[in-house]
Amino acid sequence: MSTQDRKACGGMSWTRGRDLAAAAVVVAVLTAFPGVLPNAVGRLGSLLETFRPWAGLAVPVLLVLAVLRRSALALVALVLPSAVWGGLFGARLLPAGQGAAHDLTVLQHNVNDENPDPEGTARALAGAGADLIALEELTPEARPVYEAVLAPDHPHHVVVGSVGLWSRHPLADSGPVDIRPAEVGGDWSRGLRATVRTPYGDLAAYVAHLPSVRIRLPDGFGSAWRDESAGELGAALAAEKLDRIVLMGDLNSTLDDRGLAPVTSRLTPADEGFGFTWPAAFPLARIDHVMTRAATPVTTWTLPATGSDHLPVMARIKL
């Protein structure tokens, strides 16, 4: 042991662990500024942004390694990623304020086209107390089940392709929204728009299910179709004539993902808490969203699992 190491306070060394200290700085920079990682190779930037909150797990790993190495330098460096994560995500650990004043409650759920219990799922959604219920992955076989169970409290509904909207309030001017990527063929219709006649005035309700993404070697994060569909949805939102918009949908990524910028740049998300929605067995990411324009999301939370591989998302909105 060197003389300098012997002088280190408490057996800690300021010379060991430079690699761990550098790793801590890299984690802090990528967490704070994920945009520095380009999408040119495998869309790695979008992949990082999708799972950005989980970057905090690097801190306890590096902490254990720093203690084992007895590196004072690494321990001090860990303050940086800890502070960055706390500043970005710490507030999400606070309880949701479900008692906040609101005018409208909406529910978003990808019900899964392989759901073994659509009736049970429909009953859980019907009992949630939402004014609007947006569903994705509706199948022709399951659709009558949802219609029958939701009809008593939500008599107004519209279904376009595999997406649907049920409402306590009358609907008007409903129809499809074309968000199909150019290369996607077949019977693919996963966007709709309807005017909701609420007691507080009209609002435009959008329901969307963007294409799925895949992580494969050597291609990386396959999100090209999803990004193209997000661009089409963003254009439809920009052209909307009503001031108030509520978007509910499975966007197949988190709000941090730059691929969703055409949508997220135009709307305000209901993003209180972490609210991870997928996969339901062990949620890792919030890919189901409620977003608004000219209206304020005041709180949002997830409901217990249904027969789907997604969790339902509820949001309260002030108009």
pLDDT, tens digit (0-9, with 9 covering 90-100), for 225-253: 999 999 999 999 999 999 999 999 999 99
Q: What is the pLDDT of residues 28-83, one digit of tens each?
A: 999 999 989 888 777 788 888 888 999 999 999 999 999 999 999 999 999 999 99
Average pLDDT over residues 146-159: 98
- The answer to whether residues 180 and 168 touch, using CB atoms and an 8 Å cutoff, is no
Helix 58-69, helix 18-32: angle, nearest 10: 170
Tell me the two tokens of residue 11. 């057996």
Predicted confidence (pLDDT) at residue 138 exceeds the cutoff of 70: yes
Q: What pLDDT shows up at residue 219? A: 59
| Cis amide prior to 279 (ω within 30 degrees) | yes
Q: What is the pLDDT of residues 10-20, one digit of tens each?
A: 577 888 899 99
The Cα 269–Cα 255 span in angstroms is 8
Predicted confidence (pLDDT) at residue 220 exceeds the cutoff of 80: no
Predicted confidence (pLDDT) at residue 26 exceeds the cutoff of 50: yes
Q: What is the pTM of this model?
A: 0.87
